[in-house]
């Protein structure tokens, strides 16, 4: 019987206290093309599942020590993608309902037919593969959206970097001329000491300007680099205020000549999320808000809010005073490839990806809109336990001050 101490991705955990049944089920698993890994009890199975990932598990309901349903509950918590099948000789409606409630993929009675069990295992493995493929495709879509957002930001980044670079270079040209003159003056000393001191003061002021410009370039590069890097799957404690501010800075070139930013930051809890992906959500919403505002000379606003919901959840809003969304389009807003933008201006994936990212962190996103008055997107995320911070309220400020 072939087993594996270091299971491949499509390995099947076989948990049964009867050696003969473990051998039979392992043989059936091999017939499906997967690799069986045997465990005589829940304790051994826990040790294996703590080290390796399983596509599927066959679990006897009546195990020595911890029963199969308790193990199923634990397995679903550590490996939610594993499709577990409960196999028992003592089945009843109540235990079947409880197994399915705990997330079992299927519930089978002993004695079972070999072909029937093989068919169920194949179905479980196929669903696992389809889920893995869907997650892979979703990750590719998210990365594609990030690259599209970076392309959108490129012109703005060039503009933002060119301004400080221009006065850095002009000041360096001035210093290149001034320093040799100062050196010659120092050689003469005496009568020109006061003039030299004044000129040194001007040099110090120019150096401060250069430092300020260089700091602006560094901050712009840091923000773009943080957004562009591969975020992986790691989650961390995230401050929504910091993420929202970073998105506003990156989108500033799209906002500056269209609207002023109005902030309303109240106390909001920290959340457990992937910071670059959350920044991708806010950047999409802020850029969409800017693009929805017509260049009609009116005093438009982009309003951003943070507050704590009635159940302790972290809440955020990004709203605009733009064109709004027709009522007939609201139901399709978060569907993939749906867009109201002109051809070539949008892929229709932005809001779909925002929704997917938020849902992966346990969050939600909804939208409200009135044609001709604007649109508001509302986000909610569960708070991280015992982690909250008070964000001091800010006065409404213009978009230019957001830089």
Domain boundaries, the chain: 11-112, 147-230, 233-403
Average pLDDT over the chain, rounded to an integer:
80
100-104, 297-301, 391-395: which range is least confident on average? 391-395
Query: CA 225 → CA 87, 219, 231, 291, distances in Å?
Result: 51, 10, 11, 24
In this structure, the strands spanning 301-308 and 260-265 are: parallel
What is the average pLDDT across 170-199? 69
pLDDT in tens, 259-270: 999 999 999 999
Instruction: Report the pLDDT value the prediction gives residue 211, as an integer from 0 to 100.
Output: 74
Which residue shows structure tokens 């409630």?
101
pLDDT-derived band at 388, boundaries 50, 70, 90: very low
22-31, 241-250, 290-299: which range is least confident on average? 290-299
C-beta of residue 19 within 8 angstroms of C-beta of residue 41: no
Does residue 185 register a pLDDT over 70?
no
Which residue shows structure tokens 């997330």?
103
Instruction: Report the pLDDT value the prediction gives residue 91, as an integer from 0 to 100.
Output: 77
Does residue 393 register a pLDDT over 50?
no
pLDDT in tens, 154-166: 555 656 666 677 7
**DSSP annotation string for 275-289:** HHHHHHHHHHHHHHH
What region, left, alpha or beta, does residue 312 occupy, with left being phi > 0 and alpha being psi -120 to 50 degrees? left
* CATH no., domain 233-403: 3.30.565.10
pTM for the complete prediction?
Answer: 0.51
Of 132, 190, 186, 157, nearest to 8 (Cα)? 132
pLDDT in tens, 304-351: 999 999 999 999 999 999 989 888 888 888 887 667 665 555 556 778
Does residue 365 register a pLDDT over 70?
yes
C-beta of residue 329 within 8 angstroms of C-beta of residue 345: no
Tell me whether the CATH fold assigned to 11-112 matches the one assigned to 233-403. Answer: no
The residues near 16 (Cβ < 8 Å, ≥ 6 apart) are 22, 25, 40, 58, 59, 60, 63, 87
State both tokens at 48: 């294996």
Please give the share of the chain, as a percent, with pLDDT higher than 90. 28
Q: Does domain 11-112 have CATH number 3.30.420.40?
A: no
C-beta of residue 87 within 8 angstroms of C-beta of residue 59: yes
Helix, strand, coil distribution of the chain in percent, nearest 5:
50, 20, 30
State both tokens at 22: 């473990």
pLDDT in tens, 200-215: 777 777 777 777 777 7
Sheet strands (E) in 40-191? 56-60, 83-88, 106-109
pLDDT-derived band at 3, boundaries 50, 70, 90: very low
What is the average pLDDT across 3-14? 64
Higher-confidence residue of 300 and 140: namely 300
């Amino acid at each position: 019987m072939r087993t594996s101490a270091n299971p491949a991705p499509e390995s099947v955990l076989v948990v049964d206290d009867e050696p003969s049944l473990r051998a039979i089920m392992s043989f059936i698993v091999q017939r499906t093309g997967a690799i069986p890994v045997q465990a005589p009890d829940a304790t051994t199975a826990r040790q294996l599942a703590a080290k390796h990932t399983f596509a599927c598990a066959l679990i006897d309901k009546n195990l020595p020590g911890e029963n199969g349903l308790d193990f199923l509950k634990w397995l679903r918590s550590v490996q939610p993608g594993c499709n577990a099948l409960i196999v028992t000789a003592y089945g009843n409606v109540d235990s079947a309902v409880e197994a399915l409630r705990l997330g079992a993929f299927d519930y089978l009675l002993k004695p079972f037919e070999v072909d029937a069990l093989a068919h169920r295992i194949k179905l479980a493995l196929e669903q696992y593969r389809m889920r893995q493929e869907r997650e892979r495709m979703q990750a590719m879509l998210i990365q594609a959206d990030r690259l599209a957002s970076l392309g959108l930001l490129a012109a703005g980044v060039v503009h933002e970097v060119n301004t400080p670079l221009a006065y850095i270079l002009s000041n360096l040209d001035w210093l290149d001329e001034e320093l040799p003159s100062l050196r010659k003056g120092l050689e003469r000393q005496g009568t020109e000491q006061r003039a030299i001191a004044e000129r040194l003061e001007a040099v110090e002021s120019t150096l401060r300007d250069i430092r300020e410009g260089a700091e602006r370039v560094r901050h712009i590069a840091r923000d773009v680099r943080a957004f562009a890097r591969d975020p992986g799957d790691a989650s961390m404690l995230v401050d929504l205020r910091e993420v929202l501010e970073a998105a506003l800075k990156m989108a500033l070139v799209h906002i500056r000549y269209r609207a002023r930013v109005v902030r309303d930051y109240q106390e909001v809890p920290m959340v457990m999320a992937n910071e670059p992906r959350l920044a991708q959500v806010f950047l999409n919403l802020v850029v969409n808000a800017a693009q929805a505002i017509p260049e009609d000379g009116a005093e438009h606003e982009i309003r951003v809010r943070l507050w704590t919901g009635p159940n302790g959840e972290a809440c955020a809003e990004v709203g605009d005073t733009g064109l709004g969304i027709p009522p007939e389009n609201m139901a399709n807003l978060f569907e993939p490839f749906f867009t109201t933008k002109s051809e070539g201006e949008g892929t229709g994936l932005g809001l779909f990806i925002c929704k997917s990212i938020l849902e992966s962190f346990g969050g939600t996103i909804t939208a409200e809109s009135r044609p001709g008055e604007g649109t508001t997107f509302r986000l909610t995320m569960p708070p991280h336990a015992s982690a909250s911070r008070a964000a001091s309220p800010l006065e409404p400020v213009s978009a230019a001050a957001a830089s």
